[in-house]
Amino acid sequence: MNILQLPLEEVHPYKNNPRKNDNAVDAVAASIRQYGFLVPLVITAEHEIIAGHTRYKAAGRLGLSTVPCVIADELTEDQIKAFRLADNKVGELAQWDVDLLPLELADIAQDMAVFGFESISEEEFGEEFTLDSGEKKPYQQISLTLHDKQAELIMACIDYVHAHEEVGETFGNENRKGNGVYEVVRQWAEQKKLV
């Protein structure tokens, strides 16, 4: 694979690109700023982008004069159209392992929120609770994937119980959100006569 450094002005996006990527540009720019431009753009012989539109926009935002590119001149027009879609679609098929992801994030000292990962502050857990690898019992960390509306409702419930019930430390847990979720679920379980 031959990687060329081409002037950014000589590369142009595909005019019918169906991928809406504006919300990802800042995160990609932050990644390039921090780690370098490690994934080249894939372009046609005419320098039209096949894959890498978000990296292209991020490069422009960062004021880069050149970008690394790979010319995919072995692909037919049909293959170019198909690869342009497939390259974006396959990423949607993968999922995060919600047990392993928090452990990986806990071992990273830098702020990963800029890349879309929620960070867990020390204040949320208190001084005695850490996310270091190893034994954490009797505490557990539970990760949930939620729609924005679901997360909004849950956070509103947590805020409500803290504002009206003065929820404090539960079972030695100093995590405000954890105690709030527990109180909301405890009240629901009480109504359903589960406790």
Determine the angle formed by the axes of helices 53-62 and 25-35, rounding to 10 degrees: 70
* Residue 138 preceded by cis peptide, ω within 30: yes
User: How many other CB atoms sit within 10 Å of the CB of residue 92?
Assistant: 7
pLDDT of residue 122: 47
pLDDT of residue 110: 81
Q: How confident is the model at residue 124 (pLDDT cuts 50, 70, 90)?
A: very low
Q: 144 versus 95: which is more confidently predicted?
A: 95
Alpha-carbon span 139 to 102, nearest angstrom: 14
Query: Residue 120 above 60 pLDDT?
Result: no
Is domain 3-93 annotated with CATH 3.40.50.300?
Answer: no
Q: Nearest Cα to 87, choosing from 103, 100, 70, 102?
A: 70
Determine the angle formed by the axes of helices 176-191 and 148-165, rounding to 10 degrees: 90
CB-count burial class (<10 Å; 0-12, 13-18, 19+) for 38: exposed
Q: In whole numbers, what is the pLDDT of the chain averaged over residues?
A: 84
pLDDT of residue 165: 67
What global pTM score does this model have?
0.61
Q: Decide: 119 and 106 in contact? Cβ < 8 Å.
A: no
Query: Residue 163 above 90 pLDDT?
Result: no
Alpha-carbon span 175 to 173, nearest angstrom: 6
Flag the least confident range among 92-96, 137-141, 175-179: 137-141
Dump the DSSP string for 110-171. Answer: S--GGGTPPP--HHHH-TT----SS--TT---------HHHHHHHHHHHHHHHHHH----BT
CA 184 to chain centre: 27
Q: Where in the chain is the domain with CATH 3.90.1530.10?
A: 3-93
* Mean pLDDT calculated for residue range 161-166: 74
